[in-house]
Chains A and B, each alone.
Chain A
Amino acid sequence: MSLPAFLAALDELALAASTAFAAADDAASLESARVEFLGAKSGRLKAVQQGMSAVGGADRPAAGKRFNEVKQQIQAAFQEAQDRAGSGRAGVVRDRDFDPTVPGRPFRLGRLHPITQTIEELKDIMGRLGFTVALGPEIEDEWHNFEALNIPADHPARDPLENFYLASALAGSPSASLSASLSASLSASLSASPAASPSASLGSGEPATGSRTGPAPLLLRSQTSTVQVRVMESREPPVRIISLGRVYRPDTADATHYPMFHQMEGLLVDRRVTMADLKSVLRLFAASYLGSDVHIRFRPSFFPFTEPSVEVDMSWKDRWIEFGGAGMVDPNVLRSVGYDPEVYTGFAFGLGVERLCMRRHGITDIRELYKNDVRFLEQF
């Protein structure tokens, strides 16, 4: 057989096979086509292959090469037909070009703010320790923000420039001029009489606002201890609460300061509450938060509403890290809410949520927390 004749026979075979496989529309017809073209004993491909021996020796390689191409072509056509007819698994049509590496259709889950996540963690831990969350207003009167907390009228913490007083509620002209603030602070100082001391208003719920003439000054709370006062005013011990929320202090915004931030404060008032209870509760808190064996260290400090007052450190990875402030509730505070300090004692502690949150997540600039860039929010 001449080479051209052999090649022509191959081409004819390839065309016939692809037509037959394409036409096969069920398993039976596909099988008969398979036997006709690819049958091992008497298939047409086998027959053509046998004709190759008649091709002249010099043409043999070319004939063999072409034969193999056609053979693969016919086998591929059969495979495709088999896929289409589902003869591999009954009733299943293959989809060999499906690309599982293509990303899924976007399904967007939002994220909770890292401050919220930290607060929820703190609430969970303190809840397990028996502390219930208490809420209170962010705009406060001077009684709850200062006087009931043993911060008398001439205390530097009450300086109008150290707080966000509300202009509309300030008595007299809300002028921000230096001389006005000077005379305002002086007159506040000079009018500070014993009658203004917290103990003078023992047991009374809202003495400060009720007894004043003119509009009572209001301010954005500078601490969440205000909530503790409100809770204690409203019920008898035992009190075991945490208060959480936004507080405001006139700090210039930089990497570690922001004029608005979040505090968590805890309060436990009952009979026979001691500083050993405080230390033990804080150790349980620290162990829950850091998840390992920790210790608590007290360093003496000063806060108007606690005495003794301490700075609290917790040991973490072989070093002391600052936790926050704490102490035993000052007897003047207990008296100001109508509790008898001879009967009850209590402890209080407070910490800045931002600092914990930033350490937890490795955030180095507090301002990132309030920029609300979704690329930031999506990291948590």
Chain B
Amino acid sequence: MLVSWNWLNDYVALDMTPAELSHRLMMAGLNHESTTAVAGDFCVDLEITSNRPDCLGHIGIAREVSVLWKRGLCIPAATPAASAVPVAGLAAVAIEAPTLCPRYVARVIRGCRIGASPEWLASRLRTVGVAVINNVVDITNYVLLECGQPLHAFDLARLRQRRIVVRETRANEPFLAIDHKTYVLPAGMCVIADAERPVAVGGVMGGADTEVTPSTTELLIEAADFLPRSIRATARSLNLHSPSSYRFERGVDPEAIDWASRRCCELILELAGGELAAGSIDVGPAAPGQPTSGSATGGATGGATGGGTGSGTGTATGSGPSTGMATAAGRAPVTLRWSQLARILGIEIPADEAARILTALGNRETARDAHCVTVIPPSWRRDLSREIDLVEEVARIHGYEAIPEDVQVPMAPSHRTDEDRVLRRVRELLAAAGFDEAMTVSVVREELSKAFSPWTLAEPLVSGTPILRGADRLRRSLVPSLLEARRINESLANPIAELFETAAIYLPREGVLPEEKWALGMVSGRDFPAVKGVIEALLHALCPTAAFTVAGTDQPLFHPDRACQLLLNGQTLGYLGELSAPGLRQFELRAATVAAELDLRVIARAAELVRKFTPLSPFPAITRDLNLVVDEAIRWNSLSTAVQAAGGAWLEAVEYRETYRDPAKDGPRKKRLLLSLVLRSPDRTLTSEEADAVRDAVVAACHSQLGATLLA
């Protein structure tokens, strides 16, 4: 909201500096963006939160100033002199869409002269960046920026049959807007039509055919209310955002509609001349004294409200544009218990001060005693309906500076959850293993989503609108995002891109929220055994006694053989594999890549965060190396199992050394597995003969069970 200093000064005496004004307003809730000097005036830019549409006009800002500085507020009475000719014979208004347009006030002025605005008006509009057009259009803009109620002036002579019909659009109605662009309006929008065609998109934009031109002499002045949601949807759909739509979206003061209409006519009579028809057409379900149906044509039942607005200059402090309105919109009273101020704010505010603030803001006090005050909030503050709303009003005007920042807050225990501890350890261990932590977006493009989904066959959840560059699939795996990150690093010629990420993946479930699996993804330029070694080190550190095994898997992204499913205590822990050649091509990766994904909750369940001490043997270990020739079909895990079983109580560890192939010596389809036995006794140093005996037993078992032969 751009505010003109000179203009604001019309309603409240500004005897402070612009800096003092903007600071105090900021501390009361109107955030200050900037102040610029403009040709003898200041333009103050204030940010208005969505709950305060009353501050989208100079009078609303002036009211805040008057409350903060305890100054009087002076609001024009808006009492245009009317002729004897009743408005009913000059125009007609029918509302066929009463839900979208609850009220429509029309007044008619005949015989006006369109011309340039006087300098005082033009300069104020220029200060706040509004284009100066002609006196009538400028006045509608001026009153909009004065009280926040949008207005529109139609050239009455161009309204077919001199009729206004407020209705929903039919499908694909063409409309030539005031910007001289033609819009094809979809069905369901609220339009202002004449007897034949749309002449304005209600509350959003006027039409070119009925706009005020230099030859206009007859005016129909519209002051209406429109359903905020309808306005929002229409403005968004047409991408037409105007000061009017902005205000209707946030809600206008229902009791200022007629004031704005009168104020607009008053200024037109003053600056463009002409003759105001008697009374107004005031229709719609929200019009005073109106039956719920708004479809009666030409009902000028609003009657003449042109006179009788009390004092001529309206200087009463705290009164709004609606001073003297015949109707009250039936606001419910709100009670503030004085004790609630201290209970919520933590400071005492004297009852007199609180009551003064509420009254100055326009609340009408209806009862007050030692315990509480009851008020009826003003029509322009629809955000005030509960006790807590009044607490906030008192607090913000009294000033939050009064709240101390050094009270004693009771101590309380807090703890890190086990999952949080596990997550922290996992990150630290992976960093120690040379992996950088990546952060990628939770949503991926369809082809990435399809590339890897080991956890579920269910189709991914889809966002209604893409989140970033066509990415709309909620990812079922972190691996595709990390492979993309690896490709980006490759394209930057970064020699190493070892990346991991811990984040949720989203596995759809029928009828309930999806499972958000807490996953660890890894991509690496190291080979399969190296990445497996990192995973094993991770498990050894966190879940030392859990059984880690692998099983076959068939993931199209991976090489058919150099890939496996990982299991921990028999539960699926994750997947590890080397990317197949087509997999690398799909991600446009040049270098060989290994990827893995682990379910962190499986690790968390098996994690031993507080380890127990195991007594250590004080005697040295003795090792025996074995070089066993076996068939290719024999896997390490079966050999290792056989060795463990035959090793006896002294076998502390079976350590894999390497696999070696020499078909010339060993024959085809044979391999050598080199391993070491680590032997140790808890109560003495083992002799060489004892170690040899264990080795011989192991060799014998491997030979009988797996056909292994010892290479001497």
Structural contact, B232 and A132, CB atoms closer than 8 A: no
Kindly identify, within residues 359 to 380 of chain A, every residue whose CB is under 8 Å from any CB belonging to chain B.
369-375, 377-378
Structural contact, A139 and B26, CB atoms closer than 8 A: no
Structural contact, B442 and A246, CB atoms closer than 8 A: yes
Q: What residues on A are CB-neighbors of B462 within 8 Å?
A: 166-168
Structural contact, A308 and B405, CB atoms closer than 8 A: no
Structural contact, A300 and B438, CB atoms closer than 8 A: no
Q: What residues on B are CB-neighbors of A345 within 8 Å?
A: 343-344
A209–chain B nearest beta-carbon distance, Å:
8
Kindly identify, within residues 324 to 367 of chain B, every residue whose CB is under 8 Å from any CB belonging to chain A.
342-347
Instruction: Return the contact of B414 from the options A130, A164, A276 (Cβ within 8 A).
Output: A130
Q: What residues on B are CB-neighbors of A135 within 8 Å?
A: 417, 419
Structural contact, A166 and B437, CB atoms closer than 8 A: no
Structural contact, A181 and B237, CB atoms closer than 8 A: yes
Whether B435 is near chain A, meaning CB under 8 Å from some CB there, is yes
CA distance A274 to B349 in the complex (A): 14
Question: Interface majority SS on A: helix, strand, loop or mixed?
Answer: mixed
Structural contact, A164 and B463, CB atoms closer than 8 A: yes
CA distance A154 to B188 in the complex (A): 17
Structural contact, A164 and B467, CB atoms closer than 8 A: yes
B591–chain A nearest beta-carbon distance, Å:
14
Instruction: Return the contact of A110 from the options B346, B386, B416, B434 (Cβ within 8 A).
Output: B434
Most-contacted residue by chain A among B395, B415, B497, B503 (CB, 10 A): B395
Structural contact, A276 and B345, CB atoms closer than 8 A: yes
CA distance A110 to B499 in the complex (A): 9
Whether A85 is near chain B, meaning CB under 8 Å from some CB there, is no
Instruction: Return the contact of B465 from the options A116, A161, A297, A374 (Cβ within 8 A).
Output: A161
Known interface pairs A113-B437, A139-B474, A164-B464; A275-B345 also in contact (CB < 8 Å):
yes
Which one of A20-28, A54-62, A169-177 is at the interface? A169-177
Structural contact, B403 and A279, CB atoms closer than 8 A: yes
Shortest Cβ distance from B347 into A: residue: A276
Map CB proximity to A onto B26-46 as digits: 1 under 8 Å, 0 otherwise. Answer: 111101000000000000000
Known interface pairs A110-B431, A132-B415, A156-B50; A279-B437 also in contact (CB < 8 Å):
no
Structural contact, A166 and B463, CB atoms closer than 8 A: yes
Shortest Cβ distance from B239 into A: residue: A178
Whether B228 is near chain A, meaning CB under 8 Å from some CB there, is yes
Whether A147 is near chain B, meaning CB under 8 Å from some CB there, is no
Structural contact, A115 and B439, CB atoms closer than 8 A: yes
Q: What residues on B are CB-neighbors of A4 within 8 Å?
A: none
Whether A92 is near chain B, meaning CB under 8 Å from some CB there, is no
Q: What residues on B are CB-neighbors of A176 within 8 Å?
A: 464-465
Whether A189 is near chain B, meaning CB under 8 Å from some CB there, is yes
Instruction: Return the contact of B489 from the options A179, A218, A282, A373 (Cβ within 8 A).
Output: A373
Whether A3 is near chain B, meaning CB under 8 Å from some CB there, is no
Q: What residues on A are CB-neighbors of B391 within 8 Å?
A: 307-308
CA distance A218 to B516 in the complex (A): 14
B332–chain A nearest beta-carbon distance, Å:
14
Whether A338 is near chain B, meaning CB under 8 Å from some CB there, is no
Whether B585 is near chain A, meaning CB under 8 Å from some CB there, is no
Q: What residues on A are CB-neighbors of B499 within 8 Å?
A: 372, 374
Structural contact, A112 and B431, CB atoms closer than 8 A: yes
Structural contact, B404 and A170, CB atoms closer than 8 A: no
Shortest Cβ distance from B468 into A: residue: A259
B20–chain A nearest beta-carbon distance, Å:
16
CA distance A307 to B408 in the complex (A): 22
Most-contacted residue by chain B among A109, A283, A299 (CB, 10 A): A299
Kindly identify, within residues 270 to 284 of chain A, every residue whose CB is under 8 Å from any CB belonging to chain B.
272, 274-277, 279-284
Map CB proximity to A onto B488-502 as digits: 1 under 8 Å, 0 otherwise. Answer: 110010101111100
A216–chain B nearest beta-carbon distance, Å:
9
Most-contacted residue by chain B among A109, A274, A296, A301 (CB, 10 A): A274
Q: What residues on B are CB-neighbors of A129 within 8 Å?
A: 409, 414
Structural contact, B439 and A370, CB atoms closer than 8 A: yes
Number of residues on chain A facing chain B (CB within 8 A): 95
Whether A88 is near chain B, meaning CB under 8 Å from some CB there, is no
Q: What residues on B are CB-neighbors of A272 within 8 Å?
A: 343
Structural contact, A140 and B346, CB atoms closer than 8 A: no
Structural contact, B396 and A182, CB atoms closer than 8 A: no
Whether B388 is near chain A, meaning CB under 8 Å from some CB there, is yes
Kindly identify, within residues 224 to 261 of chain B, every residue whose CB is under 8 Å from any CB belonging to chain A.
227-230, 232-234, 236-237, 249
Structural contact, B513 and A141, CB atoms closer than 8 A: yes
Structural contact, A166 and B439, CB atoms closer than 8 A: no
Q: What residues on A are CB-neighbors of B405 within 8 Å?
A: 276, 279-280, 282-283, 295-296
Structural contact, B186 and A179, CB atoms closer than 8 A: yes
Q: What residues on B are CB-neighbors of A128 within 8 Å?
A: 414
Structural contact, A169 and B461, CB atoms closer than 8 A: yes
Known interface pairs A161-B236, A182-B188; A309-B392 also in contact (CB < 8 Å):
yes
Number of residues on chain B facing chain A (CB within 8 A): 99
Instruction: Return the contact of A111 from the options B395, B437, B440, B464 (Cβ within 8 A).
Output: B437
Shortest Cβ distance from B186 into A: residue: A179
A125–chain B nearest beta-carbon distance, Å:
11
Known interface pairs A110-B436, A275-B403; A139-B229 also in contact (CB < 8 Å):
no
Map CB proximity to A onto B413-439 as digits: 1 under 8 Å, 0 otherwise. Answer: 111110110001001101111111111
Whether B99 is near chain A, meaning CB under 8 Å from some CB there, is yes
Kindly identify, within residues 495 to 545 of chain B, every residue whose CB is under 8 Å from any CB belonging to chain A.
496-500, 503-504, 506, 508, 513-514, 516
Q: What residues on B are CB-neighbors of A298 within 8 Å?
A: 400, 403
Structural contact, A108 and B230, CB atoms closer than 8 A: no
Instruction: Return the contact of A186 from the options B230, B403, B442, B463 (Cβ within 8 A).
Output: B230
Q: What residues on B are CB-neighbors of A188 within 8 Å?
A: 229
Whether B485 is near chain A, meaning CB under 8 Å from some CB there, is yes
Whether B51 is near chain A, meaning CB under 8 Å from some CB there, is yes
Q: What residues on A are CB-neighbors of B503 within 8 Å?
A: 246
Whether A250 is near chain B, meaning CB under 8 Å from some CB there, is yes
B186–chain A nearest beta-carbon distance, Å:
4
Whether A330 is near chain B, meaning CB under 8 Å from some CB there, is yes
Known interface pairs A127-B414, A182-B186; A110-B435 also in contact (CB < 8 Å):
yes
Known interface pairs A345-B343, A373-B488; A160-B464 also in contact (CB < 8 Å):
yes
Whether B370 is near chain A, meaning CB under 8 Å from some CB there, is no
Q: What residues on A are CB-neighbors of B424 within 8 Å?
A: 120
Whether B447 is near chain A, meaning CB under 8 Å from some CB there, is no
Most-contacted residue by chain B among A128, A138, A274, A374 (CB, 10 A): A374
Known interface pairs A166-B461, A372-B489; A300-B435 also in contact (CB < 8 Å):
no
CA distance A375 to B443 in the complex (A): 24
Instruction: Return the contact of A240 from the options B389, B412, B439, B498 (Cβ within 8 A).
Output: B412
Whether B52 is near chain A, meaning CB under 8 Å from some CB there, is yes
Known interface pairs A137-B513, A165-B464; A373-B396 also in contact (CB < 8 Å):
no
CA distance A181 to B236 in the complex (A): 10
Instruction: Return the contact of A308 from the options B395, B440, B468 (Cβ within 8 A).
Output: B395
Whether B19 is near chain A, meaning CB under 8 Å from some CB there, is no
Whether B441 is near chain A, meaning CB under 8 Å from some CB there, is yes
Structural contact, B440 and A370, CB atoms closer than 8 A: yes
Whether A220 is near chain B, meaning CB under 8 Å from some CB there, is yes
Known interface pairs A115-B439, A165-B463, A374-B489; A159-B232 also in contact (CB < 8 Å):
yes
A116–chain B nearest beta-carbon distance, Å:
6
Structural contact, B436 and A377, CB atoms closer than 8 A: yes
Q: What residues on B are CB-neighbors of A9 within 8 Å?
A: none
Whether B16 is near chain A, meaning CB under 8 Å from some CB there, is no
Known interface pairs A154-B229, A276-B404, A370-B441; A131-B414 also in contact (CB < 8 Å):
yes
Q: Across chains A and B, which 4 residue pairs bring their CB atoms closest together, nearest first?
A: A276-B346, A274-B346, A300-B29, A130-B412
7 inter-chain pairs at a CB distance below 8 angstroms, sorted by A residue, are: A154-B229, A165-B463, A274-B346, A279-B404, A297-B400, A345-B344, A372-B488
Given contact pairs A116-B437, A181-B233, a sample of 9 additional A-B residue pairs in the complex whose CB atoms are under 8 Å apart: A131-B414, A139-B461, A159-B236, A165-B463, A165-B464, A260-B442, A302-B49, A308-B395, A373-B494
Residues of A within 8 A of B (CB): 108-113, 115-116, 120, 123, 126-133, 135, 137-141, 154, 156, 159-161, 164-170, 174, 176, 178-179, 181-183, 185-186, 188-190, 218, 220, 238, 240, 246, 248, 250, 253, 259-260, 272, 274-277, 279-284, 295-302, 307-311, 328, 330-331, 345, 369-375, 377-378
